[in-house]
Structure 1
């Protein structure tokens, strides 16, 4: 009987661990030397990546902004190097140029639906005793130069989609 109880407890914890997986996250590998990353602070806390599709009339802005004490900051996670190779094996890790090339065949509406379907979630927080909600995305940037570290920094990104010109 004790063995059965231990088995149920073990299964419960295993299920809880699996429920906290990051299988619907996208980790984009960026090369600071060749990709168009714009750093807007001296310590690389705030940076942006832009991708334009003039033919389909849309642009994507991925930004990581951290301001101490702010309510809607992006987070920085440190993942073990072994987990990064596992993300690659599962298809959650992609080179940013290759990923953006896949998006280029989408029109603006398809692009928006793609990100909503695959990577969005709603984040709730309290601000002055009021509950606030806004949409966030499970999109992270990893710098290629950090891939050999024991704990790899992964930067949560805010996604903004817009048209280049009004229709």
Structure 2
């Protein structure tokens, strides 16, 4: 995809959507539809904005259940999640860990997401670089996350 200022962005394995991109002081910014503000357009942000759009427009997730860059503490370290979705009762439901399209989804990505998920306790996790997506759900009987072939339905 080529944005309005002529920069080429990688095509992702997610549905395209009408983005609002602008340039400010030499930096490209993308409109975050949830926070209603422009954010620096990094490759990771490109992936996150596509996931936000897909979950809302494609899968019917309610906008009000999203939390972006939720701060959390793990072993005295401050961390920020990319995207957390809550269920209608306020419990965490889905953690989406976004990487740049050039970053491979591997064991380190999984360990990072599972580390972030310890205090959150989301039953569903998605690891994505926009091209490759791994969806996992917690299996109560086996007491572990198992890979799934589908994205969790809207909470």
Q: TM-score, normalised by structure 1?
A: 0.25
Larger Rg: 1
